A = this chain, B = another copy of it.
Amino acid sequence: MLEESRLLVEAEFRRLFAACKETGYGPLYDHLAVYPFREGKSLRPAILISTCTAMGGKTYQAITSAAALELFHNAAINHDDVQDVSDFRRGEQTLFRQLGVPIAINVGDATNVLAISLLLQNVEKLGVRKALQILREFERMSRESVEGQAMDLDWIRTGCFDLGDQDYINMVYKKTCWYTTIAPMRIGIICGSAVKHSGSLDDYLQDTLELGFATGVAFQIQDDLLNLTADEVLYGKEISGDLYEGKRTIMLLHFLRSASVAKRDRALNILRFPRREKTAKDIKWLHREILNHGSIEYGQKIARKFADRAIALEPKLATFMQHNAGREFIREVLNYMVERLK
């Protein structure tokens, strides 16, 4: 399903980029195509498309929106890379390292424009009512995402580590959950819903928001846990990379709250420096202290709480979804997302 979604979305990209190049300034679209064709998991389009088919819709009704969602994601990671001064993305140099900051920013902007272009094509494909409803979901998702990003960037700029679990969860809800789980499912529901559903649609969308929230938070905490505990070869990312970046995680925040004043001060002194000024010795100390303070177990407990909530909410989908392959994939992918530590 992941592979199939990726191929469908890539075909949509090829069609769109070719049309843009035909009438517009070609080199822009060559730069724009770089990230979308670097292989990713394609998790979000797959969730959107299979939610649509689980609602009884056809795959073609979801592809345009799935491709728009993936473009939004690619625009976001492009600007993220500039904001975080990242060197690599999906195993290759980041776009801004290849072409400079100005072009990378513009390519991100253009990628967002093309997401809107695609969503306007939904008018012919799905009719005015659904097309507008999807545009509204997209607008909400984009607004939540820039708010989540704003929270994160404000914490970094002000060197703020005095944060509770609720701050972290609220940031993740906005920055991660909306575009990773909530919007893909909600837009999939709209794409695939029959007219007879339209009365109760708001209820389904609300259920999905709660399920997507619980799933997304469990997913993100587990991602943060993996960064502290996983096997580097298996995980594919640099272990403790989050500590180098000073990323606020449930585990780090727990450690900072539990540590003695002296240790807390030492940790903050390490964290507040830019990535390049942190030494491997500092990071090793920080990593060991996080382990010693039971912060891993604490993070696992919180992740478990959200995973349990997601598992409890998931059967609600059966009240409006059909029993088919799309539904089965949704169940499996949600389970994978909340249980992948095991």
Measured CB to CB, the residues of A under 8 A from B are 20, 24-25, 27-28, 31, 79, 82-84, 99-103, 105-110, 112-114, 116-117, 120, 123, 128, 132, 135-136, 139, 142-144, 146-151, 153-154, 156-157, 174
Contact = CB atoms under 8 A, between A and B. Distances in A.
Contacts of A116: 116, 135, 139, 142
Contacts of A148: 25
A148 B107 CA distance: 12
B132 A117 contact: no
A77 to B, nearest CB: 13
Nearest to A109: B146
13 contacts: A24-B147, A82-B105, A83-B102, A103-B154, A103-B157, A106-B149, A108-B109, A109-B112, A114-B143, A116-B116, A116-B139, A117-B143, A120-B136
A107 to B, nearest CB: 8
Contacts of A28: 146-147, 150
Contact of A120 (B82, B128, B139, B144): B139
A136 B128 CA distance: 13
| Number of chain copies forming the complex | 2
A159 to B, nearest CB: 12
Given A20-B143, A120-B136, A151 B25 contact: yes
Contacts of A113: 139, 142-143, 146
Contacts of A143: 20, 24, 110, 113-114, 117
Contacts of A25: 147-148, 150-151, 174
Contact of A157 (B100, B136, B146): B100
Of A108, A113, A117, A139, most buried by chain B (CB within 10 Å of CB) is: A113
Given A151-B25, A174-B25, A120 B101 contact: no
B110 A150 contact: yes
A148 B150 CA distance: 28
Contacts of A128: 128, 132
A117 B116 CA distance: 12
Contacts of A150: 25, 27-28, 31, 103, 106-107, 110
The list of the 8 closest CB pairs from A to B, nearest first, reads A83-B102, A28-B150, A110-B146, A25-B147, A113-B142, A102-B153, A106-B149, A24-B147
Contacts of A146: 28, 106, 109-110, 113
A284 to B, nearest CB: 28
A116 B145 CA distance: 14
Given A24-B143, A84-B102, A110-B146, 7 more contacts: A25-B150, A102-B157, A106-B150, A110-B143, A113-B142, A120-B139, A132-B132
A79 B106 contact: yes
A27 B147 CA distance: 9
A107 B99 CA distance: 22
Contact of A154 (B20, B27, B83, B123): B27
A20 B116 CA distance: 21
A213 B2 CA distance: 46
